[in-house]
Amino acid sequence: MKVVKVGLLGLGTVGGGTVNVLTKNAQEISRRSGCEIVVSSASARDITRPRICNTDTLHLTTDSQEIINDPDVQIVVELMGGIEPAKSLILEALSKGKHVVTANKALIANHGNELFVAAAENKVTLAYEAAIAGGIPIVKAMREGLSANSIEWLAGIINGTGNFILTEMFEKGSVFSDVLKEAQELGYAEADPEYDVEGIDAAHKLCILASLAFGMPLNFERVYTEGISTVTPLDIAYADELGYRVKHLGVARKTKMGVEMRVHPTLIPEKRLIANVDGVMNAVVVKGNAVGPTLYYGAGAGAEATASAVIADIIDICRDLDTPTVNAVPALGFATSALEELPILPIESITTAFYLRLSVEDKPGVMAAITKILADHGISIEAVQQKEPEQHGDKAQVILLTDSVVEKSLINALTEIESLDSINQPAVRIRVESLQ
Amino acid sequence: MKVVKVGLLGLGTVGGGTVNVLTKNAQEISRRSGCEIVVSSASARDITRPRICNTDTLHLTTDSQEIINDPDVQIVVELMGGIEPAKSLILEALSKGKHVVTANKALIANHGNELFVAAAENKVTLAYEAAIAGGIPIVKAMREGLSANSIEWLAGIINGTGNFILTEMFEKGSVFSDVLKEAQELGYAEADPEYDVEGIDAAHKLCILASLAFGMPLNFERVYTEGISTVTPLDIAYADELGYRVKHLGVARKTKMGVEMRVHPTLIPEKRLIANVDGVMNAVVVKGNAVGPTLYYGAGAGAEATASAVIADIIDICRDLDTPTVNAVPALGFATSALEELPILPIESITTAFYLRLSVEDKPGVMAAITKILADHGISIEAVQQKEPEQHGDKAQVILLTDSVVEKSLINALTEIESLDSINQPAVRIRVESLQ
C-alpha cells in the first residue's frame, strides 16, 4: 500500500488529536483512502513538553523549516495558529509543491485570497475544513453538497465558548461574568476570552462561510461584530417568555442591495432546531434556493473532533494524489476567475426585526409616547409587554418586538425615545431572526 | 466554456425539478463547475403529458435507449424508479462509458453491489446522493466528511411521509388512519402508502447508510423492518409524559457481536435535536469515534430539494471530467477490495431499552406479578406508571420503561406476563434509543 508522509507544524491539542486519530483508526482510514498515512515529523516550540499523543515514531523538531524542506513530506498540516510564521511557512510549503491542510481560521479569513492563489499556481491543494465549526463537514457541504444552489443566507452558532456561556445563562439565570469564570475553569474559555466572547473568532469563520456561499473574495474587515458580554439574564428570560432563545449568531445574507455579514446576539424562535443547539456544540443553517433550509450540527472544537476534519482533508488529498488535475474543487467552491466582488452592506443599511427593552418611569402616557415615535418612523410593533417595577422606585420595563426595519431608522427612533423625560437609560436592543 | 450534455431517463417530479434548477441557477452552477451543463434529452412514457419544466430545448423521446446510444450524452440521470428497466439501462450506460447519476434507492439497495462493480470496471462514476434523504448531502458527509472516523452508529428520520404522520399524531392526538388520509390528500403519501408507512423505503436508505458507515456490501434483505401503522396517539401521549418523542427511525450500529440494521418506531428523549425534527423533514445523526455525534437536517423529498442532490452529483462528475483517475472516492467510501462482509445480527439478539404498555385488570398484586417476571428475566425497570381506568370496567394501563435488554429476553418475559390471568391483551412495546 502506498505510504503518504505528513508533517505537522504544531503538536498541541489538535496536532496531538490528529496523531491519535490516525493511529486508532489506521485500518479504517487505509480502507477508505487506499493509502497508509504516516505522520513522520512534527514541529513544536518545546519538544521536551509532555504531549497527548505517543511521539515515539515521530521526528520532533523545533525547526518548522526542517519539515517544509523534507522532500519525503507530501502533506504539511499547519496547526500553529496565528498569522506569522504560519503564513510564510504555508506559502513556502505550497511553493515546494506540497499540499497543505490548516485549521487556522484567522489566517484564512485575513489572507486566504492570497494563499488560495498560491496553491492554485503551484497546482496543489490548500484545505481548511477544520477552520470552521470543528468536526462538522460544513466546507464540504457548501462547496460540493449544495453546489446546485444559489445560497440565500446562512446562520451559524460557530463559537462553542459563546454558546456554552449563553446556554448556562439561560438554564441557570446566571450573569455573564460568572459563567465566563466557570467556562475558564472548565477549560472552555481562554484566559484572554476576547476572541471568543467579542465575536472575533466567529467573524473569522463567518467571513469564510460567506465567501463559500456567494462566491466572493474573503472580506474579513467588512464583517460587523458584536459580542455577548452585554447580554443579561433578564433579557434572556424576557426573550424566553416571548418564545425565543438568545444565541450568538453569525449571519450572512445576499440581498438585492448587497451582502450582509454580521456576528451578534440574536433572538431565534425556540421552535427552530438551531435555537436548541446548546452548550459547546456548533450548528450552521444554510438556505439554498433549491434545497431549502439545511442544518449541520456537531462539535465545534476539541482535539479529536477537529482532528476528524483535518484528517478528512488529508484523505481527500490522498484520494487525488495521483491525479494530474488537482484542485478539481476550487478553494472557495467557485473557480477563482469566477469570484465576484459584491457590495457589502454597512450595518446601518441592514433590515432585521428587533427586541427592545426600555426602562421607563411608571407614569401615564409613556407607552403612548414610545409607540408614537416608532409609528412616526414607520416601525411596526409585533408584540409589546410592560413589566411593572418589582420594588417601589424601580423602573418599569417595556419590552417590544418590532417588525423588520432598516437599522438606521431604528437608531433614529431610539434616539428620540431616549430623549423622552421618562426614559433615563439607553434602550437594550437585540436583533431578531426568524430563520425561515 | 466546456459544454456537458446530460440525458434524463424519466421526466416526472425530480426530472422536472432538475431541469428547472439547472435553468434558474445556470450562472451559479457554471461558476462552480466550470462547465455549461445542458439537459439535451429526456425520456418519458408519455411525451404529450404536461411537465413542470420547460421542454422547448429538450429532445423528448419515449425510447430511453435513444439517450443511452447518444454519443454526445456524457452523463445519464436515471429518475424512472423501480428495478427494471432502470437497472438494465444503467448497466448499458456504464458499459458505454457514460457516468450515471440516480435517485433510485430501491435499485441501489437491492443491486448496488453489482452496479458499483460495473461502474468501476468501466472507469466511470455511479453517483446516488439523491437516493437518501433528498437534498441533505449525507452520502458526501459519510463518504468524505467523516472519513477519518470509525462510525459507531447512525440513526435517521429518512422517510418524510412517516415523519409527517407521527408529527400530526403527536400535535393533534389523531389516529394513524385519519392522518394517513390527510397526508394522501396533501400529496405527501402515495395512494399505496405501504412503502412509506411500513418502512420499506426507509429500509432501502438505511441499508445504504449502513454500508457507507461500516464498509460492507449492501445487504437489503437483512434489514429488520417495522412500520408505524400500529402506533397509537395514546402511546405517543404517554411517551410525551415520560419526556420522549416517538419517531420512525432507521438505526445502524456496529457492536462487537455484529451489525444492527433496523427500522422501527422509536422513543427518543425530547432533548435530542433529532426528536424535534418535525413534519416532512429528514435528519440523520452519525456518531463517529473521533468527531462524536453529528447531525444533518433538510428536506428529504420534493422536486427541487431532490434535484439539488442530483445536480450536486452532476457537478462532482463535471469537476473531474478531464481526470483519467476516476472514482477517486469509491462508491461506498471504502475501496471495493476493502469492503468486508460483517455478521448482521437478527433482531432477537439486539440490545435496546423498551417502552411497554400493558392493559391490566385493576386488582391487587398485578404490578407485583409483572415486576417479578421482569426481575426473573434480569430486566431492570427505569420508570413505571400506573394509569387508572377512565371508566368503570376499563382496564388500567401500566407503562414501563426498561433498561437495555436483549430482545429475546424481553420477548420471553412478555410471553409469561401475557399469560397472567389479569392480562388479556398483548403488550404494546416500542424500542427506546438514547442516541448518545
Task: Report CB contact under 8 Å: B32, A137.
Answer: no
What pLDDT, on a 0 to 100 scale, did the predictor assign at position A324?
62
The grid coordinates listed for B98 are 457514460
State yes or no: pLDDT of A191 exceeds 80: no
Q: Which amino acid is at B173?
A: G
Nearby residues of B27 by Cβ (< 8 Å), 6 or more positions away: none
Residue A160 labelled as part of a binding site: no
Q: Categorize the per-residue pLDDT at A395 as very low, low, confident or very high, splitting at 50, 70 and 90.
A: confident
CA angle (A97 as vertex; A96, A103 as ends), nearest 5:
95
Smallest Cα distance from A412 to chain B, Å: 38
Q: Which amino acid is at A201?
A: D
Task: Report CB contact under 8 Å: A32, B333.
Answer: yes
Specify the higher pLDDT residue, A1 or B136: B136
For A6-42, b where at least 16 C-beta lie within 10 A, e where not — what string? bbbbbbbbbbbbbbbbbeebeebbbbbbbbebebbbb
Task: Report CB contact under 8 Å: A305, B290.
Answer: yes
H runs (alpha helix) in B187-227: 194-197, 200-214
Window from A79-93, A135-149, A319-333, B286-300 with minimum mean pLDDT: A319-333
State yes or no: pLDDT of A326 exceeds 60: no
Q: Which helix (H) or strand (E) holds B66?
A: helix B64-69
- State chain B's maximal CA–CA distance in angstroms: 82
Q: Categorize the per-residue pLDDT at B322 as very low, low, confident or very high, splitting at 50, 70 and 90.
A: confident
Q: Tell me the β-bridge partners of B406.
A: B351
State CA B200 to chain mean position distance: 9
Residue B190 labelled as part of a binding site: yes
> What gap in Å lies between CA B345 and CA B328, rounded to an integer?
32
Query: A147, A334 in Cβ contact below 8 A?
Result: no
| Residue in A150, A297, A325 closest to B295 by CB | A297
> What gap in Å lies between CA A374 and CA B389, rounded to an integer?
57
Q: Which residues of B touch A309 (CB under 8 A)?
A: 148, 291
Pairing of strands B259-269, B224-225: parallel
Whether residue B36 lies within 8 A of chain A, CB to CB, comes out as no
Whether residue A154 lies within 8 A of chain B, CB to CB, comes out as no
Percent with pLDDT over 70 in chain B: 99
Nearest chain B Cα to A291, which residue? Answer: B305
What is the interface size between A and B, counted as CB pairs within 8 Å? 221
- A-proximal residues of B, 331-350, CB under 8 Å: 333-335, 338
Percent with pLDDT over 70 in chain A: 99
Whether residue A145 lies within 8 A of chain B, CB to CB, comes out as yes
Residue B16 labelled as part of a binding site: yes
Nearby residues of A64 by Cβ (< 8 Å), 6 or more positions away: A9, A43, A80, A85, A89
State yes or no: pLDDT of B324 exceeds 70: no
Nearest chain B Cα to A37, which residue? Answer: B148
A85: preceding bond cis by omega (within 30 degrees): yes
Q: Mean pLDDT throughout A98-114? A: 98
> What gap in Å lies between CA A132 and CA B310, rounded to an integer?
26
Q: Which CATH number fits domain A138-299: 3.40.190.10, 1.20.140.10, 3.30.360.10, 3.30.70.860?
A: 3.30.360.10
Q: Which residues of A touch B277 (CB under 8 A)?
A: 273
Whether residue B217 lies within 8 A of chain A, CB to CB, comes out as no
Q: How far is CA B428 from CA B114, B220, B241, B359, in A?
A: 40, 27, 17, 9
Helix axes of B86-95 and B105-121: crossing angle, nearest 10 degrees: 20
What pLDDT, on a 0 to 100 scale, did the predictor assign at position A393?
74
Query: Phi then psi for B367, rounded to 5 degrees?
Result: -60, -40
Residue A96 labelled as part of a binding site: no
State yes or no: pLDDT of B388 exceeds 90: no
Query: A209, A153 in Cβ contact below 8 A?
Result: no
Nearest chain B Cα to A129, which residue? Answer: B145
Mean pLDDT in chain B? 95
The CATH code of the domain at A350-432 is 3.30.70.260
- Closest by alpha carbon to A75, among A136, A17, A119, A132? A119
> What gap in Å lies between CA B9 and CA B168, rounded to an integer?
35
Task: Report CB contact under 8 Å: A304, B291.
Answer: yes
State yes or no: pLDDT of B93 exceeds 90: yes
Q: Mean pLDDT throughout B53-69? A: 96
> What gap in Å lies between CA B292 and CA B436, rounded to an integer?
9
Q: Which residues of B touch A289 (CB under 8 A)?
A: 24-25
Window from A268-282, A328-342, A344-358 with minimum mean pLDDT: A328-342
For A110-139, what is the HEC assignment?
A: HHHHHHHHHHHHCCCCEECHHHCCCCCCHH
Smallest Cα distance from B232 to chain A, Å: 25
Q: Where are the domains of chain A?
A: 2-135+303-335, 138-299, 350-432
Q: Mean pLDDT throughout A226-244? A: 97
What pLDDT, on a 0 to 100 scale, did the predictor assign at position A101?
98
The grid coordinates listed for A226 are 458584536
Segment B109-152, tens digit of pLDDT: 999 999 999 999 999 999 999 999 999 999 999 999 999 999 99
Instruction: Among B18, B24, B53, B149, pick the best mutation site for testing chain A contact (most A Cβ within 10 A).
Output: B149
Q: Which amino acid is at B278?
A: D
- B-proximal residues of A, 305-334, CB under 8 Å: 305, 307-312, 314-316, 319-320, 322-325, 328-330, 333-334
The grid coordinates listed for A14 are 489538535
Pairing of strands A244-254, A259-269: antiparallel
> What gap in Å lies between CA B34 and CA A233, rounded to an integer?
50
Residue B15 labelled as part of a binding site: yes
Nearest chain A Cα to B314, which residue? Answer: A148
Task: Report CB contact under 8 Å: B328, A323.
Answer: yes
Query: A136, A296 in Cβ contact below 8 A?
Result: yes
Task: Report CB contact under 8 Å: A144, B140.
Answer: yes
Q: How far is CA A20 from CA A86, B92, B148, B289, in A?
A: 23, 45, 11, 12
Catalytically annotated residues of B:
205
The grid coordinates listed for A20 are 491519535
| Residue length of chain A | 436
Residue B13 labelled as part of a binding site: yes
| Residue in A24, A25, A312 closest to B144 by CB | A312
Segment A350-375, tens digit of pLDDT: 999 999 999 998 888 899 999 999 99
Number of other CB atoms surrounding residue A426 within 10 Å: 12
The CATH architecture annotation of domain B2-135+303-338 reads 3-Layer(aba) Sandwich (3.40)
Q: Which residues of B touch A35 (CB under 8 A)?
A: none
Task: Report CB contact under 8 Å: A324, B320.
Answer: no
Whether residue B26 lies within 8 A of chain A, CB to CB, comes out as no
> What gap in Å lies between CA A420 and CA A358, rounded to an integer?
11
Residue A294 labelled as part of a binding site: no
> What gap in Å lies between CA A193 and CA A418, rounded to an integer?
32
Task: Report CB contact under 8 Å: B140, A135.
Answer: no
Task: Report CB contact under 8 Å: B141, A137.
Answer: yes
Whether residue A185 lies within 8 A of chain B, CB to CB, comes out as no
Residue A14 labelled as part of a binding site: yes
> What gap in Å lies between CA A23 and CA A13, rounded to an integer?
15
Whether residue A137 lies within 8 A of chain B, CB to CB, comes out as yes
Whether residue A149 lies within 8 A of chain B, CB to CB, comes out as yes
Nearest chain A Cα to B298, which residue? Answer: A294
H runs (alpha helix) in B96-199: 105-121, 138-140, 160-172, 176-186, 194-197
Query: B89, B111 in Cβ contact below 8 A?
Result: no
Query: B263, B253 in Cβ contact below 8 A?
Result: no
Query: B101, B128 in Cβ contact below 8 A?
Result: yes
Whether residue A385 lies within 8 A of chain B, CB to CB, comes out as no
Q: Which residues of A touch B152 (CB under 8 A)?
A: none
Whether residue A171 lies within 8 A of chain B, CB to CB, comes out as no
State yes or no: pLDDT of B357 exceeds 80: yes
State yes or no: pLDDT of B327 exceeds 70: no
> What gap in Å lies between CA A345 and CA A262, rounded to an integer?
10
Q: Mean pLDDT throughout B55-77? A: 97
B364: preceding bond cis by omega (within 30 degrees): no
The grid coordinates listed for B400 are 414501563
Q: Categorize the per-residue pLDDT at B390 as very low, low, confident or very high, splitting at 50, 70 and 90.
A: confident
Smallest Cα distance from B277 to chain A, Å: 7
Helices vs strands, H then E, count in chain A: 14, 17
Window from A382-396, B252-266, B267-281, B410-424 with minimum mean pLDDT: A382-396
Segment A63-78, tens digit of pLDDT: 999 999 999 999 999 9
The CATH code of the domain at B348-432 is 3.30.70.260
End-to-end Cα separation, chain A, in angstroms: 49
| Residue length of chain B | 436
Query: A133, A334 in Cβ contact below 8 A?
Result: no
Residue A410 labelled as part of a binding site: no
- Closest by alpha carbon to B67, among B22, B154, B138, B7? B7
Dihedral angle over CA of B327, B328, B329, B335, nearest 10: 80
Segment B164-216, tens digit of pLDDT: 999 999 999 999 999 999 999 988 887 789 999 999 999 999 999 999 999 99
For A347-386, b where at least 16 C-beta lie within 10 A, e where not — what string? beebbbbbbbbbbbeeeeebbeebbebbeebebeeeeeee
What pLDDT, on a 0 to 100 scale, did the predictor assign at position A322?
76
Q: How far is CA A22 from CA A72, A309, B149, B335, in A?
A: 18, 12, 9, 18
> What gap in Å lies between CA A384 and CA A2, rounded to an integer?
67
What pLDDT, on a 0 to 100 scale, did the predictor assign at position A325?
54
Residue B168 labelled as part of a binding site: no
Nearest chain B Cα to A17, which residue? Answer: B290
> What gap in Å lies between CA A179 and CA A231, rounded to an integer?
12
The grid coordinates listed for A244 are 425565543
| Residue in A145, A283, A320 closest to B140 by CB | A145
Q: How far is CA A309 from CA A15, A25, A303, A304, B208, in A?
A: 12, 14, 11, 9, 23
Interface predicted TM-score of the whole assembly (ipTM), two decimals: 0.97
> What gap in Å lies between CA B429 and CA B266, rounded to an integer?
10
Query: B58, B23 in Cβ contact below 8 A?
Result: no
Q: Mean pLDDT throughout A291-306? A: 96
Q: Mean pLDDT throughout A236-261? A: 97
Dihedral angle over CA of A136, A141, A143, A145, nearest 10: 160
Whether residue A368 lies within 8 A of chain B, CB to CB, comes out as no
Task: Report CB contact under 8 Å: A290, B312.
Answer: no
The CATH code of the domain at A2-135+303-335 is 3.40.50.720
Tell me the three state secondary structure of residue A346.
coil
The owner of cell 466557570 is: A182
